[in-house]
Amino acid sequence: MTPQENTKQRKAEHVKIVLEEDVQGKGITTGFEDYRFLHQALPDIDFDSISLSTNFLNRDTNTPLLISSMTGGTQETGEINRILATAAQARGWTLALGSMRVAIENPETHSTFQMRSYAPDIPILVNLGAIQLNRGLDSDHCRQIVEIAEADGLILHLNSMQEAFQPSGDTNFAGLLHKIEAVCNTLQIPIGVKEVGWGIHGEIAKQLYHCGVHFIDVAGAGGTSWSQVESFRSTPILKNAAKAFLDWGIPTADCIVDIRNKAPKGTLIASGGLKNGVDVAKSIALGADLAGFGRYLLDDAVNNPAKLIEKMEQVELELKLAMFGVGVNSIQALQQTSIHKIK
Ligand SMILES: Cc1cc2nc3c(=O)[nH]c(=O)nc-3n(C[C@H](O)[C@H](O)[C@H](O)COP(=O)(O)O)c2cc1C
């Protein structure tokens, strides 16, 4: 198999494994269950006045919600992107596309990432593994994928442990911070950095913001475990080793708190294991600006697109209900709301 075919096949396998196998981290949670709002029995607002609207990357959006980077590159995953894009446009969510390394290697896959006609009004983000900056890709490639997808910004993902659990993964992460900085300095578009499910702590976030990164998506632990995903397509020894890493990573809530302590100002996305609108409300009260959902949405995107929209509406409703419960009617006010740790 050529390296290009390999990249395509890997994505198809990831989607299949995530849909069919148990890839949830074990012995670790998002940490949101440790936080509780102070319920307001007398909220001084009308439920109907609650607005979820916000602004991200200079676009006004109906919600502070995001579909996390997942797919693209094959006919099937292109179809998933179309379904996600259509739903994101309908509900006013931000759409993040899966890694576009495959699009750089295979021009015929471009259409599987070209979602602007399905989602003309929402922010669209393209995605690339930051490790590719150590493997010959540079700012020009980053610009190229932004143009292909007519995107508003680029996310570079940090997936060191995922690569380490792949039999021939790219594991030379040395010196990447400076390469990320060079991309930020060269391109005139917003660059974000995310993990893939093990989280980013405050010190790293501070360094990344300092290098010119516009936003960070913590992609913390408590949801999909990528050592677990890779274990289903790895060597016996790596598969066994993956069992020791089921509880690896920084819980999503801890990432948000730590980043807000060390970097109070940068734009921050909470994701990793989010399951409902109350998790979103807690994320925002802890300091996030947006909140993202990955695997939670994938099954319906593949098997039941009508249900996907319902699920997204439900998240929005839960978020509004939580805001009513604490007596705030805007995302800005929710960010000022106090929330306390119960454990
Ligand atoms: C099928 C699938 C494919 C993914 N592909 C990518 C990717 O290409 N780039 C990336 O940065 N993250 C990728 N992710 C990681 C997600 O964006 C997200 O960070 C991670 O799954 C944790 O969030 P969750 O617990 O809500 O799923 C993928 C996740 C899934 C489920």
Q: Does the beta carbon of 74 sit less than 6 angstroms from any atom of ligand 1?
A: no
The confidence score (pLDDT) of residue 170 equals: 96
Q: Does the beta carbon of 219 sit less than 6 angstroms from any atom of ligand 1?
A: yes
| Angle (deg, nearest 10), helices 75-91 and 295-303 | 110
Write down the domain spans for the chain. Answer: 3-341
Output the CA 157–ligand 1 centroid distance in Å. 10
Q: Does the beta carbon of 31 sit less than 6 angstroms from any atom of ligand 1?
A: no
From atom 1 of ligand 1, which residue's Cα is the shortest distance away? 15
Q: Does the beta carbon of 7 sit less than 6 angstroms from any atom of ligand 1?
A: no
Closest CA to 328 of 47, 24, 21: 47
Closest CA to 88 of 137, 142, 47, 125: 125
Output the CA 196–ligand 1 centroid distance in Å. 6
Q: Which residues contact 30 (CB under 8 A, 6 or more apart)?
A: 220, 221, 222, 223, 251, 252, 253, 272, 273, 274, 279
Output the CA 266–ligand 1 centroid distance in Å. 22
Output the CA 270–ligand 1 centroid distance in Å. 13
Alpha helices per DSSP H over the chain: 3-20, 75-91, 101-105, 139-149, 160-164, 176-186, 202-210, 226-231, 236-243, 252-262, 277-286, 295-303, 305-326, 331-335
Superfamily of domain 3-341: Aldolase class I (3.20.20.70)
pLDDT by 10s per residue, the chain, length 343: 677 778 888 999 999 999 999 999 999 999 999 999 999 999 999 999 999 999 999 999 999 999 999 999 999 999 999 999 999 999 999 999 999 999 999 999 999 999 999 999 999 999 999 999 999 999 999 999 999 999 999 999 999 999 999 988 999 999 999 999 999 999 999 999 999 999 999 999 999 999 999 999 999 999 999 999 999 999 999 999 999 999 999 999 999 999 999 999 999 999 999 999 999 999 999 999 999 999 999 999 999 999 999 999 999 999 999 999 999 999 999 999 999 999 7
Output the CA 68–ligand 1 centroid distance in Å. 6
The confidence score (pLDDT) of residue 343 equals: 77
Q: Does the beta carbon of 194 sit less than 6 angstroms from any atom of ligand 1?
A: yes
Output the CA 282–ligand 1 centroid distance in Å. 21
Find out whether 323 and 50 touch, Cβ atoms under 8 Å. yes
The confidence score (pLDDT) of residue 72 equals: 97
Output the CA 338–ligand 1 centroid distance in Å. 30
From atom 10 of ligand 1, which residue's Cα is the shortest distance away? 69
The confidence score (pLDDT) of residue 270 equals: 98
Beta bridge mates, 24: 224
Closest CA to 70 of 174, 258, 253, 217: 217
Q: Ligand 1: which atom is nearest the Cα of residue 155?
A: 11
Q: Does the beta carbon of 68 sit less than 6 angstroms from any atom of ligand 1?
A: yes
